[in-house]
Amino acid sequence: MYTRIYYFRFPKDTSDQPVIYHVIKKHDVEVNILRADILPQREGVMILELRGTKVNVKHALSYLEGLGVSIERLATRVRRDDERCFQCGACTGVCPVASLSIRREDMRVLFDPDKCTGCGQCVLICPVRAMEMSLGREWFDPEGSRTPSISR
Ligand code: SF4
Ligand code: SF4
């Protein structure tokens, strides 16, 4: 499964269109809304996690670009707090890309950030919150005010 987080800026004339419905129904892409500021007849912004096959996500992005939506990929940063991690291994069972794995020789849980897609599954399951996730970006809302970067 291909998972990426994007920042979208929607032009005014899309505010009353079922754009997200089409992304889900026509392109078979799951959408997780992390933030949305959309008002009728106003430019809007959304931060969405898109999940699906790589081809379907690409087609969904092309569809949005065709509507004049500006798209920016957010580089998700995931890190592990090694002080907190007690090597229980729970996160290795949910990581879809084996970024977290168990080294059989000594049963240590290894984390390879280069493989990580930023899906966030390990953040949800870790019992001691050792996995931390940040979108590592600041953005500006339609009113122009600055809002802090997301972390969870
Ligand atoms: S679930 Fe948390 S505590 Fe357990 S191995 Fe993974 S990061 Fe460490
Ligand atoms: S966020 Fe966690 S579960 Fe998802 S790919 Fe990265 S390490 Fe694996």
Q: What are 24-52's pLDDT values in tens digits?
A: 999 999 998 887 887 777 888 888 889 89
Specify whether 61 is located in the same domain as 124: no
Specify whether 65 is located in the same domain as 115: no
Specify whether 53 is located in the same domain as 104: no
Q: Which residues line ligand 1 (CB under 6 A)?
A: 80, 85-91, 109, 126, 128, 130-131
Q: Which residues line ligand 2 (CB under 6 A)?
A: 78, 94-95, 97, 99-100, 116-122, 131
Q: How confident is the model at residue 145 (pLDDT cuts 50, 70, 90)?
A: very low
Q: How many CB atoms lie within 10 A of CB 116?
A: 20
We report the CATH number of the domain holding residue 141 as 3.30.70.260
CA distance 134 to 116: 13
Q: How confident is the model at residue 136 (pLDDT cuts 50, 70, 90)?
A: low
Q: Relative to the CA of 109, which ligand 1 atom is closest?
A: 5
| pTM score, whole prediction | 0.56
Specify whether 84 is located in the same domain as 70: no
Q: Relative to the CA of 133, which ligand 2 atom is closest?
A: 1
Enclosing domain of residue 26: 2-75+135-147
pLDDT at 44: 87
Specify whether 43 is located in the same domain as 56: yes
CA distance 98 to 106: 18
Residue type, 33: I
Specify whether 44 is located in the same domain as 101: no
- Per DSSP, the three-state class of 53 is coil
